[in-house]
Amino acid sequence: MTVTVTAPDPTLLDIDEEVREALHEGRPVVALESSAIPHGLPYPANLDLALDIDAAVRAEGAVPARVALLDGRIRIGMTKEQLELFAADPAVPKVSTRDMGITLARGGSGATTVSSSLVAAELAGIRVFAVAGIGGVHRDAPDTFDISADLVQFTRSKVAVVCAGAKSMLHPAWTLEWLETAGIPVLGYRCDDFPAYLSVSSGIPNPHRLDDLREIASVVLAHWRAGNATSPLITHPIREEDGIPSADIETALADATAEAKAAGVTGPAITPYLLKAISQATAGRTSAANRSVLLSTASLAGRFAAQFALELAAGADS
């Protein structure tokens, strides 16, 4: 039996005019997810934060390109009106790579996660993506096999991912082990340890530390030119004064995990459950920390995208 695999279809894309022009001219563009808008802070704080993230990217000379599914199309670069539509409606579903086909085929809309945003970014020709915390290997993975689709998508997308490590409720050592097995480079920008999203350090060293964005850009290009079609991770932690001590996170997480197990909370519901519990246990400090790390990661991604565009242009001229 012959199986025909359909090639990616760029006609599914609706690309914002500013983003399209920037890509055509070789100017820096940073892709962003949209799932945190309807499923993050309450309205209108979520809208304000999304606009501030866009502004942080722009302040570094790059164009923000937030990804979403709208009416059966992949939108690259959301307008303020579209952002407000998502922010005001918590019923907008999260859409991962698993769910993209059914949402698009049915003409539906959805907020993209890291994995589905990477699919869209690569299809549009965007090479830099920013997110505060990636998914990873859950602490109960030996029993549940709960591993984020983000990790699998890193093995499929030639997009550099700027992040503050893995989300705090995940197992950092197992996540790094998975990434090593998959051949995903993890590059610490001016940091020795793999960050832990809301905390400066996970306690686990980064495989590599690099202190120059130009060098990181050259490493990413060399990785792809060697034939690797995977997503290098560029990690940088939350500002120390804004981070939550990892010991506080661990205590809150242990209690929340036990409560979740007793309540029968599993699958996709476990991450928001644990994040909410950590927020309550830390007297709401996670909201301020989350805002800080979202903005700092977006800013770094803007700077990296600008440097990466220069490296691409220099390569084209040589």
pLDDT at 314 > cutoff 70: yes
Per domain, the residue ranges of the chain are 10-317
pLDDT at 269 > cutoff 90: no
Query: What mean pLDDT do residues 161-183 have?
Result: 96
Q: Which residues contact 125 (CB under 8 A, 6 or more apart)?
A: 23
pLDDT for res 6: 62
Q: How far is CA 290 from CA 73, 96, 129, 236, in A?
A: 30, 22, 18, 14
User: Which residues line the annotated binding site?
Assistant: 94, 114, 146, 148-150
Cite the active site residues. 33, 167
Upstream peptide bond of 38 is cis (omega within 30 degrees of 0): no
Query: What mean pLDDT do residues 284-295 have?
Result: 92
**How many percent of the chain have pLDDT more than 90?**
78
Q: How confident is the model at residue 153 (pLDDT cuts 50, 70, 90)?
A: very high
Tell me the C-alpha distance between 100 and 86, whole Å.
17
Per the CB < 8 A criterion, the answer to whether 301 and 179 are in contact is no
Q: How confident is the model at residue 168 (pLDDT cuts 50, 70, 90)?
A: confident
Bigger pLDDT: 267 or 226? 226
Mean pLDDT of the chain: 93
Q: Which two tokens stand for residue 15?
A: 């690309």
pLDDT at 145 > cutoff 50: yes
The CA-CA-CA angle for residues 15, 18, 24, to 5°, reads 80
- At 115-136, the pLDDT tens digits run 999 999 999 999 999 999 999 9
- At 174-231, the pLDDT tens digits run 999 999 999 999 999 999 999 999 999 999 999 999 999 999 999 999 999 999 999 9
Q: How far is CA 29 from CA 22, 77, 267, in A?
A: 7, 10, 33
What is the domain class of 10-317 according to CATH?
alpha beta
Q: How confident is the model at residue 273 (pLDDT cuts 50, 70, 90)?
A: confident
Q: How confident is the model at residue 317 (pLDDT cuts 50, 70, 90)?
A: low
User: Which residues line the annotated binding site for substrate?
Assistant: 94, 114, 148-150
Q: Which residue carries 């979403």 as its tokens? A: 68
Query: What mean pLDDT do residues 269-286 have?
Result: 79
DSSP, res 204: S
- At 91-113, the pLDDT tens digits run 999 999 999 999 999 999 999 99
Per the CB < 8 A criterion, the answer to whether 56 and 114 are in contact is no
Q: Sort residue 183 into left (φ over 0), alpha (ψ -120 to 50) or beta.
A: left
State the alpha helices, DSSP H only, in 125-245. 141-144, 149-154, 172-181, 213-225
Query: What mean pLDDT do residues 11-25 have?
Result: 97
pLDDT for res 264: 86
